[in-house]
Amino acid sequence: MEKALFDAVYNNDIKRLEQLIKQGVNINIQNQKKQSLIMVATYNNNIKMVEMLFKNGADVNLQDDYKNTPFLYAGANGQLEILKIIYTKADAIKPLNRYGGNALIPACEKGHVEVVEFLLKNTSVEVNHINNLGWTALLEVVILGDDTPEYAKIVKILVENGADIYIKDHKGKDALYYAKKNKMFKILKVLENP
């Protein structure tokens, strides 16, 4: 039965999965990598499959071996439509990804402006959460991002939502230090004129 469930998800066979669900299968079953059905659908960016599984009670907070949940992965990878489906039942504070980060940190680092806006407007994600590297979402942008209008917009959104520009990482450096060091002039303009 487990193989049939995962085959249906991998093959995007919604009708087959609906049949199996009607038989009373465990919709939260996990494979050898601890991936749930909805996690696999999220990895495949299969919006209709995610929606169907969610409506049938799939747990969006189960972590796989990589410490991903559908919420964390969708946030990190800019899958806004999936976030919009699952956020009402997703725990935005815990669990954390393998770096000890919430969904906001990698969304910022990867430049997903709409996801950042959505997370801050609609969830309880912590804007000043510090991951295992000692980085907040803001620090992640100035350390790993670029000096583009998109990243400057993300910095503006973060600051408007309470991001503390003076939080220091494990090296004792803050966002202003890294923005100057990395010659991020658009971002510096936002940080120096909040």
CB 152 within 8 A of CB 186: yes
Question: How confident is the model over 79-107, as pLDDT tens digits?
Answer: 999 999 999 999 999 999 999 999 999 99
Q: What are phi and psi of 30, to 5 degrees?
A: -120, 145
What pLDDT is stored for residue 36 in this prediction? 98
56 has a pLDDT exceeding 90: yes
| Distance in angstroms (rounded) separating the CA atoms of residues 114 and 80 | 7
What pLDDT is stored for residue 142 in this prediction? 98
48 has a pLDDT exceeding 90: yes
Average pLDDT over all residues of the chain: 97
Question: Which residues make Cβ contacts (< 8 Å) with residue 45, sequence separation at least 6?
Answer: 77, 79, 82
Beta bridge partners of 30: 36
According to CATH, the topology of domain 102-194 is 1.25.40
Question: How confident is the model over 141-166, as pLDDT tens digits?
Answer: 999 999 999 999 999 999 999 999 99
Split at pLDDT 50, 70, 90, the class of 194 is: confident
For the chain, the DSSP string reads -HHHHHHHHHTT-HHHHHHHHHTT--TT-B-TT--BHHHHHHHTT-HHHHHHHHHTT--TT---TTS--HHHHHHHTT-HHHHHHHGGGS-SSSS--TTS--SHHHHHHTT-HHHHHHHHHHS---TT---TTS--HHHHHHHHS-SSHHHHHHHHHHHHTT--TT---TTS--HHHHHHHTT-HHHHHHHH--
Split at pLDDT 50, 70, 90, the class of 131 is: very high
Q: What kind of architecture, by CATH, is found in domain 1-91?
A: Alpha Horseshoe (1.25)
Domain(s) labelled CATH 1.25.40.20 in the chain stretch across: 1-91, 102-194
177 has a pLDDT exceeding 90: yes
Split at pLDDT 50, 70, 90, the class of 112 is: very high
